[in-house]
Amino acid sequence: MVPDAGEVRGAYRRGMRLVPIVVTVSAVALLAGGCAAESATESAGVSDARVVAVQEDIDRVVGAGVTGAIATVTENGETVVRTAGVADIGTDAPIPTQPAQQTRVGSVTKTFTSALVLQLVAEEKVRLDEPIDTYLPGLLRGDGIDGGAITVRQILRHQSGLPDFADDPRADEYRAGVENRTMTPAEAIAIVNGGRGEFAPGERYGYSNANYLVAGMLIERVTGAPYAEELERRILKPLGLADTYLPGPGERDIRGPHPAGYATLDGVVTDVSRIEPSIPWAAGGLVSSGTDLNRFYGALLAGRVLEAAELQQMRDGVPIDPESGTAYGLGLGSIRLPCGAEYFGHSGGIHGYNTVSGATVDGRAITVALTKAPETEPDLIGMLEHALCP
């Protein structure tokens, strides 16, 4: 079943443009529900109280109508996985904690992409304050769009003013999968250039997936290698992220064990796990697991992915929402929690899956993956507090 274009486009826009950190919302009193699975990885490293609080959080989310949830918590070098809800509404099978479950992680991909660019900065192959035209001459040209006026830093920090190609119905990854279509980065950029610049480069923050298509193309131009190969060579293999990969064009199924992802289309809860990954690509096409994402963000903040100077550049953010204190650096969001701990990470939404993932500098990490967009925003700040506060 393919829903009307308006419904599909709306779903994609909400997914890929999900606030790339967290939104402060009020806690909601919800009946607990779902089924908790025991974790084979539980150890004394993660406190019992933390595990209980996280389990209650995802039970509440499932009780509010989300099909399934996976929470992965890391503390003192140990990781615990907890689940709630079902992996498949047809069988009511619970989501297992072993083996690791893969999900699509949407815009969490952006942190990986930014890290690759910053590695090239450390190698003096890219300069953050150099115009995009230096590396991709003539790529960005349109009404109010000029690659000679947009810097690499502005691309990574969403300060370019580029319109979001994800707003275009041609860029819906679920419909493209159903219709057996792929999309090249150049075709996506043509959609961007056909729009209009939303503001002057550097004027303000404005989230756009187009920025990270440009970043992916920059990586390929500078290295001479496909983005997926550079990702594998520079980050995935060194960190041992065996459950993480970028699917190629036309690879619409998830390779490993995974819960189905759902969305309500034309009033029917529908399995939308199969999508066309070439559309979100370097902006949101990654598949991963909670364990891998916790390891990645922990390693990133510990200085095992970037040199100190580039990590500081990545963490240096501009305000998103003064009321909540959220900020966005170079592919990395941050917020200081009420307990004083500072969270660094990203959120991501794509058809069927919503994810928030990140860590603190002292080694705690959390990934929560939902297999259906919640109708009511959960208390994400509360969830982060339970997982990350000392």
- The stretch 258-278 carries a mean pLDDT of 96
Task: Give me the percent of the chain exceeding a pLDDT of 70.
Answer: 89
Q: What is the pLDDT of residues 166-187, one digit of tens each?
A: 989 999 999 999 999 999 999 9
C-alpha 365 chain-centroid distance: 15
CB atoms within 10 A of CB 376: 12
358: helix, strand or coil: strand
Instruction: Give the per-residue pLDDT at 5.
Output: 32
Report the relative pairing of strands 78-88 and 68-75 from DSSP bridges: antiparallel
**Residue 288 bridge partners (DSSP):** 103
Choose among 295, 245, 248: nearest CA to 276.
248
Q: Is 107 a catalytic residue?
A: yes
Residue at 38 is within a domain: no
Residue at 1 is within a domain: no
Which CATH number goes with the domain that contains 56? 3.40.710.10
Choose among 64, 15, 5: nearest CA to 263.
15
For residue 272, CA distances in Å to 192, 283, 372 come to 26, 19, 10
Instruction: Give the per-residue pLDDT at 44.
Output: 59
Q: What is the pLDDT of residues 296-318, one digit of tens each?
A: 999 999 999 999 999 999 999 99
- The stretch 8-29 carries a mean pLDDT of 33
- The stretch 91-106 carries a mean pLDDT of 97
- The stretch 34-38 carries a mean pLDDT of 36
Decide if pLDDT at 19 tops 70: no
Output phi, psi for 321, to 5 deg: -135, 100
Distance CA 264, CA 262 (A): 7
Residue at 213 is within a domain: yes
Instruction: Give the per-residue pLDDT at 43.
Output: 42
Residue at 346 is within a domain: yes
Q: What is the pLDDT of residues 327-341, one digit of tens each?
A: 999 999 999 999 999
Instruction: Give the per-residue pLDDT at 357.
Output: 98
Residue at 150 is within a domain: yes
Number of domains present in the structure of the chain: 1
155 sits in which H/E element: helix 152-156
Decide if pLDDT at 18 tops 80: no
CB-based contact 117:126 (threshold 8 Å): yes
pTM of the model: 0.91
Distance CA 34, CA 86 (A): 7
Decide if pLDDT at 107 tops 50: yes
Q: Which domain holds residue 106?
A: 48-388
Report the relative pairing of strands 333-336 and 326-328 from DSSP bridges: antiparallel
Residue tagged active-site, from 39, 43, 107, 334: 107
Residue at 36 is within a domain: no
Structure confidence at residue 38 as a pLDDT band (50, 70, 90): very low
Residues 6+ apart with CB under 8 A from 196: 142, 143, 144, 145, 163
Instruction: Give the per-residue pLDDT at 135.
Output: 98
